[in-house]
Amino acid sequence: PITIKLPSNLRSTLNEEQCLVVESILSGHSTFFTGPAGSGKSHVLSTLLKANADGIGGKQNGQPRNIVVTATTGVAACNVGGITIHSFGGVGAGNGSMADMAKRVMGNEYTKQRWREVDVLVIDEVSMMAASFLDKLSFIASRARNDRRPFGGVQLVVCGDFFQLPPVELSKDGFAFEAKCWSEVIKCSVLLTQVFRQRGDQTLLNILDEARIGELSVTSAEVLRRHSVLPAAAFANRSGEEEEQIKPTLLECRNREVDKANQREMDTLPGDVHSFSARDRGINDTYKAQLKHCQAPATLELKVGAQVMLLKNIDLEKGLANGSRGVVVRFQRPHNESELPTGFK
């Protein structure tokens, strides 16, 4: 049962499905929520953290619960402002038997204390976690907390899309939901069905839904074929003169190929290069180490006409979402901070 209700100021930022997820977690239920890309999974997590910071569904003494946000990869952890589950759990690469890994954790007071102090453990991108590894984590948590219950009584929140990347050795280890501890821990599962990132384009939504489950219709396939190669006229204005436009996205299998393609296109552009250096800071060495997994480069070089993509949500109402495409039209220094987008001050 849902025993904690969100206040109206937070409910207004969520749809019913998202609200159910947050209220289920705040009510103390170990929860799994999933959905396609753009369905607001990251927004759900940020709302959960805000509600917890405000003392909603907190401990009996009124203090917020200790919610630790983790993910299965460094990039995913960076995106949600957390650390990798391997780093939090103190398990290294996660190799070895349950007993060996538990012995390693029990021999490290700092790691053991982390397990003892956590109230809610969030694991993002759970689709990439093997069933055997989830069971190992549950065993380790029970040992570290001296509690025989799965995960030592820690409330578990897992999210991700099992239609996306699977575990590396899927045939050997199985999906996380096939773990022995999954059915023992997860008491609430919610599917987020509303997509926000591509809303307003039903054709694209249909294509993405079909591609997600691997059943592309003839109609969708034909739409993709028509857009796979665009004529030069698609990038010209009404007078026939070429102007800077957003070009179709080229997908590569490896990051180094992506970097080569981007640099090749940048080199063809005229004009001066404008460099922007990141100013990073971390609470401790663990968080600082996550910077190497950040998708954004330490130094960003741009020219007028450069194709760009957002790597985080800025303003969904204005279409400024993670993955939104754009093109640099000019460089202009703001007169004051009020001209900067939210989150950039």
Q: Which residues contact 179 (CB under 8 A, 6 or more apart)?
A: 131, 132, 134, 135, 138
Distance CA 31, CA 29 (A): 6
Q: Which residue has the higher pLDDT, 239 or 90?
A: 90
Q: What is the pTM of this model?
A: 0.70
> CA angle, 260 as apex, 255 and 262 as ends, to 5°?
95
Domains and CATH numbers, the chain: 8-191 (3.40.50.300), 245-333 (no CATH)
Region 44-63: mean pLDDT is 85
pLDDT for residue 263: 92
Region 253-271: mean pLDDT is 89
Distance CA 313, CA 322 (A): 5
Q: How confident is the model at residue 272 (pLDDT cuts 50, 70, 90)?
A: very high
Q: Measured in whole angstroms, how far is the alpha carbon of residue 48 from the centre of its chain? A: 15
pLDDT for residue 345: 44
Q: Does residue 332 register a pLDDT over 70?
A: yes
Q: Does residue 238 register a pLDDT over 50?
A: no
Q: Does residue 21 register a pLDDT over 60?
A: yes
pLDDT for residue 241: 44
Q: How confident is the model at residue 339 (pLDDT cuts 50, 70, 90)?
A: low
Q: Does residue 145 register a pLDDT over 60?
A: yes
First and final C-alpha spacing in the chain = 41
Region 77-105: mean pLDDT is 83
Distance CA 307, CA 300 (A): 12
Q: Does residue 19 register a pLDDT over 80?
A: yes
pLDDT for residue 170: 75
Asked which of 27-36, 90-99, 150-159 is least confident by mean pLDDT, the reply is: 90-99
Q: Left if phi > 0, otherwise alpha if psi is -120 to 50, otherwise beta: which for 343?
A: left
Q: How confident is the model at residue 115 (pLDDT cuts 50, 70, 90)?
A: very high
**Per-residue pLDDT tens digits for 288-300:** 777 777 778 889 9
3-state SS record for the chain: CCCCCCCHHHHCCCCHHHHHHHHHHHCCCCEEEECCCCCCHHHHHHHHHHHHHCCCCCCCCCCCCCEEEEECCHHHHHHCCCEEHHHHHCCCCCCCCHHHHHHHHHCCHHHHHHHHHCCEEEEECHHHCEHHHHHHHHHHHHHHHCCCCHHHHCEEEEECCCCCCCCCCHHHHCEHHHCHHHHHHCCEEEECCCCCCCCCCHHHHHHHHHHHCCCCCHHHHHHHHHHHCCCHHHHECCCCCECCCCCCCCCCCCHHHHHHHHHHHHHHCCCCCEEEECCCCCCCHHHHHHHHHCCCCCEEEECCCCEEECCCCCEHHHCECCCCEEECCCCCCCCCHHHCCCCCC
Q: Which residue has the higher pLDDT, 281 or 274?
A: 274
Distance CA 85, CA 101 (A): 14
Q: How confident is the model at residue 239 (pLDDT cuts 50, 70, 90)?
A: very low
Q: Which residues contact 68 (CB under 8 A, 6 or more apart)?
A: 82, 88, 114, 118, 120, 121, 122
- Reading the block at residue 43, the tokens are 């927004």
Q: How confident is the model at residue 181 (pLDDT cuts 50, 70, 90)?
A: very high
